[in-house]
Amino acid sequence: MNLYIRFFDDECVVTSIEEALEFIRTFQGFKVTPDFEDDFRQYAEGDVMYPKRYKVRSRIYFIVIKTMAATLEEFKANGKHNAGEGSGEPATILVKPKDIIEQRLNEVTPGWYEGFINFKRVVFNPETGKCDYVDTSFSAITKAWSPMDCYNRLVDYARSRDDVDERSQFPSPRGKNFKYEYIGLKPLSAVSI
């Protein structure tokens, strides 16, 4: 198992713990202590496959990732580290779930979408004389260019209604309170916005 180490723009793939410690000793402001060395060896030799970060100073860290890649070029070309290869575990891709969701939302696929939002609607409570936030579900079938366009159309329509106060709070399109399903290109007989 090799180790990928990165500290700002300094990065490398090493094949041994000694090489890794030698590289880490070059980090300005970081001292390799016996406690750090023990912890690092335990991580490198252990079965734990997740990346690990070590603190250099306040809000400054370096990261260590176990990989099957033999060179830095191979590691970067793969765009992933194959830590689980050969062990039956899936390889971990170094892409954040947030980025994947963002990609899916903005993927242009024109057609009909069934969208659903759950938002906080401001409703006047006559008993207290104050306004309350009430969970409100809204769904519609809309013609859109992408899931994000579907979301925008749902929110725009809900905001334009007279019974929805302008102080109402709408969910993020990336959250669990917005769902959509691509229906297709053919128009439906259902009501749409």
Confidence (pLDDT) at 124: 86
Q: What is the pLDDT of residues 8-28, one digit of tens each?
A: 888 999 999 999 999 999 998
**What is the model's pTM?**
0.46
| Angle of helix 97-106 versus helix 147-160 axis, rounded to 10 | 80
How is residue 166 written in tokens?
């302008």
Q: Which of 7, 25, 5 is nearest to 66 (CA)?
A: 5
Confidence (pLDDT) at 88: 44
Burial class (CB in 10 A: 0-12, 13-18, 19+), 5: buried
User: Around Cβ 146, how many Cβ atoms within 10 Å?
Assistant: 19
Higher-scoring residue by pLDDT: 190, 115? 115
Rounded distance between C-alpha atoms, residue 90 and residue 86, angstroms: 9
| Angle of helix 34-45 versus helix 17-24 axis, rounded to 10 | 140
Per-residue pLDDT for 36 more than 70?
yes
